[in-house]
Structure formats: C-alpha cells, structure tokens
Amino acid sequence: MSASVDDDIVTDPNLPPVAVEPEKLRSRWTPAKIALWIGIALLGGLGWTMLAIVRGETVNAIWFVFAAVCTYLIGYRFYSKVIERYITRPDDRRATPAERKQDGKDYVPTDRRVLYGHHFAAIAGAGPLVGPVLAAQMGYLPGTIWIIVGVILAGAVQDYLVLFFSMRRGGRTIGQMARDELGRIGGTAAILASLLIMLIIVAILALVVVNALGESPWGVFSVSMTIPIALFMGLYLRYIRPGRITEISIIGFVLLIGAIVAGGWVASTEWGYAAFHLDRTVIAWGIIIYGFVAAVLPVWLLLAPRDYLSTFMKVGVIVMLAGAIVLVRPEISVPAFSEFAGGQTGPVFSGPIFPFLFVTIACGALSGFHALIASGTTPKLVEKERQTRFIGYGGMLMESFVAIMALVAALSIDRGIYFAMNSSPAATLGTVEGAVAFVNGLGLAGVNLTPDMLTSTAAAVGESSIVSRTGGAPTLALGLAHIMQQALGGQAMMAFWYHFAIMFEALFILTAVDAGTRVARFMLQDSIGTVIPKFKDLSWRPGAWICTAIMVAGWGSILILGVTDPLGGINTFFPLFGIANQLLAAIALAVVLAIVAKRGRSYFRWLWIVAVPLAFAAVVTITASMYKIFSPVPAVGYWANHFAFRGALAEGKTEFGTAKSVAAMEAVVRNTFVQGVLSVIFVTLAIIVIVMAVIVTVQALRGGGGENLEDAPVPSRRFAAAGFLATKEEREIEKEWEALPADHPGRPSVSSHH
C-alpha cells in the first residue's frame, strides 16, 4: 500500500485553499533561470578545480566558499526535490501534529523561519566546530570533500527524512519509531543505543567548553555572563514585553558584546584574575550543575532565549566569517594531503584516514545527534508538511557550511602553531619549550616553530598560553580572530575577536548540552514509563528531576574522566564521540529505510537514496569500532593501550609513555577500560538495529509493502508557505486568508513566533 498523497482528504470548502495545487508546484524553466543555474554550476566547478586539481604551493581560501555554497545550492534545488517528489511526497492538505494537537506547550504551529532558527540552534553543537579543526591534521582536501559531498548525500537526507516521518507519526522519537517499525529487539537496541550515545555526545560537548575556558579568566567571565543575560531575556519576553522578539534580541546582543568587553577589563584586574582563573575540573563541575538546572527549568526561562541568542550569533558569525574570507582571501599553505594522511598515528588524533577522517569530522557531514532533535522538538512545531525540506535538509546544509568555515579558519593559521595547540599536554609538556621541541621534531615540511611565535600569539589574544589548548575551539577562535583582524584592521582587536569567538563557541555548545540533556531526559522518562507508567507524564516533576539527575550523572562522570585524562581528554575521547555519533546516524537511517520500504512498491526504486548513506555509515563506523577494539597499536586501540599501561603498572614502573606518574598511569587504565567497554556496547547495539532493519526491509520488498503506522490524515485548516520566501502562487493564497474577517469561524489563530 502507498502512504503518499491521500485522495480522500476533503478540506473545508468555506475556507481559502490550504495548499498550492500540485500542478502549480512545478516551476517553469525560463532562459534566465537556466543561465543562473549554469552560472552557479560553473562557479562551483571552478572552486572544486582550484581545490582538487590545480593545487599550487598555496590555495586561496575563497575557493572553499565558492565550492561549498554552489554545491549546497545545487543539492538543495535538485537532489532534495527528488527526495520530496519520490520519497516523502508531502501533502499540505493534511494537518500536521502542531495543528492537530495544538496545546500551547509542546505542539505549537510555528513560523517556518523561526522554526528553522530553533532547529539549527538545537542541532549545531560543537561537532561542526571541532571535528573539521582536528581533521585538518590530514590536509585540507579529504575533509573538504567529505563535509560538502557527505552532507548532500547523507547528513541532510537523514535529517529531512527523520523529521518528515516523525511528523507523520505525531512527533514520535527515533527510539519509539524503531520500536514500532523494527519490533521489540530492534526497538530496544535502538533506545538503549540512543540513551548511551547521548551520554558520550553531551560529555564531549562539555569537554570542549572546559578546554576552551580552562585557565582563561576572560573566557570564564564572558561565558558565565550569558546565563544571567538569557534569564533576563526569558523574563523580559514573558512578563515585561511579551512577544517583542526583535527588541529583546537587540538588547541581548548589546549585553553579549558588553560581557566580552567587560571580560577583558575584569581579567586584567588582580581580583578578576584570581576569581575567574579556574582549574578545568572546577569548570567541569560548574557545567555539570548548569546542565542539571537548565534541563529542569521551564523552557521559556533559559532554553528558548538562549536559542534566540545563539541562533543570531551562530548564523551571523558564520556569514561574517565567510564575508571576511572573501574580502581577505587568505592563502592556505597546508598541503591537500598531509604527512599524516597515510599513517596510523598523528599528534592530534590517531588512526588511518579511512575510517578515522569520517568519524572525526562527524557532525559537519552526518550526525546521529540530529536524528534525536529531528524526532524530538522540531516535528511538533512544523506548520505545513512541505516545510520539512527547508527546515530538515536546509538546516543541515547550514551546519555543513559552519564546518567548512571552521576548517578554513583552522587552515589559515601557521601549521606549527596549529600542532602546538592541538597536541596533548603529555606530548608538549604544557610548556612553550616542550611544544617547540615536539612540533619541530615532527619533521613537517615548511614548519619551523619558535618560542616567540607561541608567546607573541598568546599575548596578542590576551591569554597566558596557547600550548595544548586542545578541543578545536581555541584553534578556531585564533583562526577567526586572525581573519577578522585582517578584514577590519587593528592588531589591538585580536584579543577581542579571540574571546568573541570563544564565547560564540561556548554559546553554540552549551545550547546543545542543555537541549541534549533535556532530550535524553524525555527518552529516559519514556523508557522507564513502559515499566512505571507515571514516568511517561512529562509534567510530573519528581520523574523529570530523577531522570535528569541520572542523565547528568552519566555524562558528568565521563566529562570528569576526560578532564583528568593524561593523554589529553579530547584526543582520546573524540574518536569515541565520532564513532558513537555516526553509529546513531546509521541507526536512524536503518529505521528510515524500513519505513520507506513499507510504504509500497512505488517507493522501492528510490530506496538507494537511503541505502547508500546507510551502507557507508555502517561500514565506516563498524570499521572504526573494530580498530578501536582490536588494533594492536596502543595509540589506536583502546584495549591495546589499556593492557600496555596495566602491564607497566604491574612491573612497578612509575612512568610510562606520556604518563609521568603512577596516578596518571592509573587514569589511563581507567579511561581506556571505559572507552573500550562503550565501544563494544555501541557497535553491538548498532549492528542489531541495522540487521533488524534489513530483515524488515526485505520482508516489505517481498510483500509489496508493509503496515502503515502513520497517524490517520486529518484535513488542515490553515495555510503557510513552504520555503524561506513565498512563491507567487503562495502569496496569492496568503492574500485570500488575510481577507477573511477576523470573526470568521474557520480562521485559525495566528502562527506562533514563540
């Protein structure tokens, strides 16, 4: 049976149309349109040619911007339209859950542009900032290809399809959909994997913030100030001036800039330096407490205003950075494929280019975390079915652009400084002299690091040291400061731009930490609710507090392990984050594959659109997991590392490898055990889900389809445009709705811009 357009949906004849007629949706090709798309294709082709084929001694950063933007435009205009036409087949005559179940809390029909911002704020965490920076170790070309091509064929496809199918099922989570579509075994494995993977994802996001703020009084002050600013914004919108979003956004932005400027002043005073120069463990505990409080407070008080703040900041800063790159046109001297692209080990992360490049870049091209958001809050807010392409596919393209900008920023700084910042404290000894000796000892062509380069760069950005500032965020901040200072002039502004970028990244990431904790809490409540029904009631406070505490304790303990890791927490934990995230993407794609196959025979020939990214994600992540579990190279394999350090302790050694004390050696033994066990659990659960999905898909192919578990269609009673800008046909229908008298019984409440 087919689950596409329903011919039996009859809309109210007393209302204007609720959807554009299908024949009017086909755009006509005019000579001007054809010329425009040929121009976009040629410019994109020129960008790729300069990056991949011409490749002189240096490559101009402007080609990254052109290659990315043109490829995104083509992917969105053509490939996502194919998915819409042949797989999702949206029908705007059907009421979405937001319209059908409207309750003013979870289900609210939301303006598509506001929802795009909400969705982007929730999905864009540390991944697109950190992964590409770390992947720059391999050279610029492998990362660039995967970020741009991967998002078109994999990441945006997953986000769009999960959002659409969740919306058709009343906003069910990916775990609930897995239980419905794959049966008890597949569903249980998917829910368990989702919960455990959320722990590692949130822990690594928090670890990036800790590394960015460690021993940085300016950063700690500025980021701490964002919390009272967000609380003030929430109260302002709720009680002082309800609905004045633009007004509070301007006030919030001014306060943010004030917090950065004040941070520089506070950090330069004796009392300020003493109060805000915090140890990384102290910052970690601060984030754990923040995560708990943010997840249990009402959404309107902290989360929603932070989303506004961070959306403006995220999109604004990335567009500003892209403009600055076009203006400055920095020359990048990093080779297309670096000296580490062919080996098993490297100073930033270990493992061969396949599969570790893909799991390191993670969110910029494909992210399982997005499946939790796309099946969590967003499907309950979508106003019309056709908007899912703009929000799901388009939102992910924006995240990929963030990743490309992060990669360019990392590539634009001196390679010696890049390796000094991203190598673990154990390798550089945490000192300028140690970093210089280590980086110059790598034997990199054209790299000659001097102590003065490190001390003068640290002084320029207002920090005491930039050595071993791992986690990608400080590197990106330095790259952004470097480019912005060239674009707008003034060496004195370097410190401002650096801390502006640190705060921008912390805002980016903390949004994902609190949203991630909240989503994980919903998932846990739902799971416990199958045994103790009271937990299913999300408004029951004891249940919310207990589940939040369990999830925060889980990711908090992993965060503390990472902060105290002598091998550099981010250097050893990030591959596990990448693998876990991509395994979750494979699980989401597996569920989607089964859903599409069950829709009927007319969908079978388009199954490859889901099957290809699923197969690639499965091969990459299972291979990476096998390396991490079975590799005999201690720098790559968790268990090899575990047994090497355990053996050294048994022999009575007081230092071994990069660990310089017995306590450090014991920490390595403990961390590698946790990582090794998690690797085995993650990959086992993912394989179970993928196998169950393949079985269900084969059964559907043999039977000509399967059970349709979508909610029964209900006629819609409202209209809204599908894309960012309304088309001519959509504007005509909008006028008809506006002409309805205010007291007309069929007139819906105005779309919420909450």
In angstroms, the CA 440 to CA 629 distance is 32
Prediction pTM value: 0.90
Rg of the chain taking only CA atoms, in angstroms: 25
Which CATH number covers residue 79? 1.20.1740.10
Q: What stretches of 124-173 show up as alpha helix (H) in DSSP?
A: 127-135, 141-150, 156-168
How is the chain split among helix, strand and coil, in percent rounded to 5?
A: 70, 0, 30
11 inside domain: no
pLDDT tens, position by position, 474-523: 898 999 999 998 888 767 788 888 888 887 787 778 877 887 888 888 88
Cα–Cα distance for residue pair 671/572, rounded to 1 Å: 9
Type of residue found at 525: Q
**DSSP states of 445-500:** TT----HHHHHHHHHHTT-S--TT--SSHHHHHHHHHHHHHHHH--GGGHHHHHHH
Asked whether the bond before 355 is cis by omega within 30 degrees of 0, the reply is yes
pLDDT surpasses 70 at 753: no
Closest CA to 324 of 112, 487, 568: 487
Q: What Å distances lie between residue 423 and 126, 137, 348, 419, CA to CA?
A: 19, 11, 5, 6
Confidence of residue 567 (pLDDT cuts 50, 70, 90): low
Q: 4-13, 407-416, 504-513 — which is least confidently predicted?
A: 4-13
Q: What are phi and psi of 8, to 5 degrees?
A: -95, 10
Residue 135 in any domain: the answer is: yes
Q: Is residue 599 part of a domain?
A: yes
Say if 726 falls within a structural domain.
Answer: no
Q: Across residues 293-303, what is the average pLDDT?
A: 79
Q: Which residue has the tokens 């995220």?
A: 314
230 lies in some domain:
no
Look at residues 111, 131, 46, 37 and name the one whose alpha carbon lies nearest to residue 75. 37
Q: Rounded CA gap, 507 and 306, in Å?
A: 8
186 falls within a domain: yes
Number of structural domains found in the chain: 1
Q: Give residue 94's pLDDT.
A: 95
| Cα distance between residue 573 and residue 584, in whole Å | 17
Q: Which structure tokens are listed for 442?
A: 């790598």
In this structure, the number of other CB atoms found within 10 A of the CB of residue 542 comes to: 9
Q: Report the alpha-carbon angle 210-214-217, nearest 5.
A: 120
Query: How far, in Å, CA of 508 to CA of 310, rounded?
Result: 6
CA dist., res. 127 & res. 314, Å (int): 13
Contact status, residue 171 vs residue 179, Cβ threshold 8 Å: no
341 or 611, which is more confident? 611
% of residues, the chain, pLDDT over 90: 49
Q: How far is CA 730 from CA 27, 722, 724, in A?
A: 13, 9, 12
| Better-predicted residue by pLDDT, 231 or 67 | 67
CA-closest candidate to residue 272, choices 218, 314, 329, 232: 218
pLDDT of residue 751: 44
Closest alpha carbon to 250 in 320, 315, 317, 312: 312
Q: Which two tokens stand for residue 108?
A: 């609210």
**Which residues does residue 472 pair with via DSSP β-bridges, in sequence order?**
none
For residues 422 and 391, is the Cβ–Cβ distance under 8 A?
Answer: no
Question: Whose structure tokens read 């967003």?
Answer: 378
d(CA 390, CA 330): 32
- The answer on pLDDT for 608 being more than 90 is yes
- The values of phi and psi at residue 715, to 5°, are -60, 140
Torsion of CA 323, 145, 603, 41, to 10 degrees: 50
pLDDT score, position 500: 84
Nearest residue to 628 (alpha-carbon basis) of 584, 666, 665, 577:
577
How many angstroms separate the most distant Cα atoms in the chain? 86
More confident residue, 727 or 345: 727
CA 428/CA 410 separation, integer angstroms? 19
Q: Rounded CA gap, 597 and 698, in Å?
A: 8
pLDDT confidence of residue 2: 39
End-to-end CA distance of the chain: 38
Q: Considering only 500-509, 696-705, 711-720, which range has the smallest mean pLDDT?
A: 500-509
Element (H, E) at 667: helix 662-703
For 466-483, letters b (16+ CB in 10 Å) and e give bbbbbbbbbbbbbbbbbb
Bridge partners (DSSP) of residue 94 are 715
Q: Flag the least confident range among 53-62, 82-91, 175-184, 553-562.
A: 53-62
Evaluate whether 211 touches 469 at the Cβ level (below 8 Å): yes
Two structure tokens written together for 530: 């199958």
**Position 593 in a domain:** yes
What is the rounded distance in angstroms from the CA atom of residue 134 to the CA atom of residue 132?
5
Q: SS3 for 550-599, per residue?
A: HHHHHHHHHHHHHHCCCCCHHHHHHHHHHHHHHHHHHHHHHHHHHHHHHC
| Torsions phi, psi for 729 (to 5 deg) | -65, -40
CA 123 to chain centre: 5
| Angstrom distance (rounded) from CA 621 to CA 1 | 34
Residue with tokens 């460690």: 214
Phi, psi for 60 (deg, rounded to 5): -80, 135
Residue type, 536: K
pLDDT higher than threshold 90 for residue 623: yes
543 within 8 A of 286, measured Cβ to Cβ: no
pLDDT of residue 201: 85
Kindly state the tokens that stand for 609: 């659109």
Q: Which whole number is the average pLDDT over 567-587? A: 82
Q: What is the mean pLDDT of the chain?
A: 88
Cross-strand bridge partners of residue 715 = 94
Q: Is residue 2 part of a domain?
A: no
Domain of 671? 31-215+279-703
Q: Please tell me the total number of residues recorded for the chain in this structure.
A: 754
Residue 4 has pLDDT above 50, yes or no: no
